A = this chain, B = another copy of it.
Amino acid sequence: MTEAPTLAVDAMGGDHAPEAIVAGLEIAAERHPEMRFLLVGDAARLEPLLGRFQRAAKSAEVRHAPDVIGDEMKPTAALRMRNASMRIAIDAVAGGEAAGVISAGNTGALLTLAKIVIKTFPGIDRPAMAAVGPSERGDVIMLDLGANVSCDVRNLIEFAVMGEVFARIVLGLTAPTIGLLNVGSEEMKGGEQLREAAELLKESPIGPQFRGFVEGYDIAAGTTDVIVTDGFTGNVALKTGEGALKLVRGLLRQVFESSLSARLGYLLARPALDRLREWLDPRRYNGAVMLGLNGVVVKSHGSTDAEGFAHALDVAMDMVLHGFNDAMRAGLARMERFSDTGGHKEADGGQPLAAAL
């Protein structure tokens, strides 16, 4: 690894690449001038762009990649694109040149390539996608958001550990609380698997931070800092919440255009409304993280602009600069020691965390 902390950036992924990528880099480079960036993509397009963005130019080194993985390409096809910008950026992490990678390109390809090339973190069975969102009580992190459509007890416990570490290291919380997403029907709550995961979390070293089951309401209420769920439910919940916020944004726009006095009212309330809009701005929450890999992997929305991409870069930089993976190692070791000494069940095959199950 080079001396300075380095992020590999897929300059060709996303709807507005490479312009929005380099413009976002310009913003992020100002925030963290100590970071170095490996900007991977079509050199003939990137070099002139860097001429226009001087801070990005100072912090970044261009690495040419002749190919781009398309948004519609299947992960299996993407795997064969060895000269694609995303692949070369991921290779830089696997080779130790960069501590992390960020892409606004094809999500499935990024997840698959990262898993195969960068590989899963020791002690983790399956990586998870996580994202931060707004709530009444501050930022909330939810995982998994779709990396694993079905999950077992071990996966859910690993998600809790990874989410707890993320909330401490990136959100800066001292003892983040954790909730396990369940349904609230009085008659039948969740399944056997959720009950078992809850029992194990209660007894684990993060037990004091575990608040038991939470419901859909609790996500926006911010009842816990970390929301743990399987990838199917998490994906639906994330998109349902985003859809509801989008609906209200559209309706508010209509409200304030509906009459002259409403327009005037908007002007009067504008500073406060702008703060609200900013607070709910999807760009402020851009950057889904793939946790559980041997390196930092961040996925930006493909449709975001420079500001949004800069935010995703912030997330990646925070993880690298605050030593996310070292904290993960410590968090997992703590769980492992618990399973070794607490020993409520025998190890099922030598996998560190599996011993806790």
Contact = CB atoms under 8 A, between A and B. Distances in A.
A81 to B, nearest CB: 15
A107 to B, nearest CB: 5
B268 A264 contact: yes
Contact of A235 (B184, B242, B256): B184
Contact of A186 (B75, B248, B273): B75
B233 A232 contact: yes
A4 interface: no
A109 B188 CA distance: 11
Contacts of A106: 186
Contact of A243 (B185, B221, B266): B221
A109 B185 CA distance: 10
Nearest to A249: B248
A1 interface: no
Interface in A173-214: 181, 183-191
User: Can you tell how many copies of this chain the complex includes?
Assistant: 2
A220 B235 contact: no
A259 B232 contact: no
Contacts of A247: 134-136, 220-221
A241 B239 contact: no
Given A231-B183, A236-B183, A272 B243 contact: no
B185 A107 contact: yes
A264 B271 CA distance: 13
Interface string A241-277: 1111111101110111011011011111111110110
A147 interface: yes
B237 A236 contact: yes
Contacts of A245: 244, 248
- Mostly, the A contact residues are helix
A187 B111 contact: yes
A149 interface: yes
A219 interface: yes
Contact of A268 (B74, B109, B238, B262): B262
A112 B187 contact: yes
B217 A250 contact: no
A191 B149 contact: yes
A190 B240 contact: no
Nearest to A188: B149
Contacts of A111: 185, 187
B219 A243 contact: yes
Given A185-B108, A272-B256, A217 B243 contact: yes
A56 to B, nearest CB: 29
B241 A269 contact: no
A333 to B, nearest CB: 30
B243 A216 contact: yes
A29 B156 CA distance: 50
B237 A237 contact: yes
Q: Which 9 A-B pairs have the closest CB atoms?
A: A216-B239, A265-B269, A108-B186, A265-B268, A108-B187, A220-B243, A146-B185, A244-B244, A216-B240
Given A74-B186, A233-B236, 6 more contacts: A134-B247, A217-B246, A219-B244, A252-B276, A265-B265, A268-B268
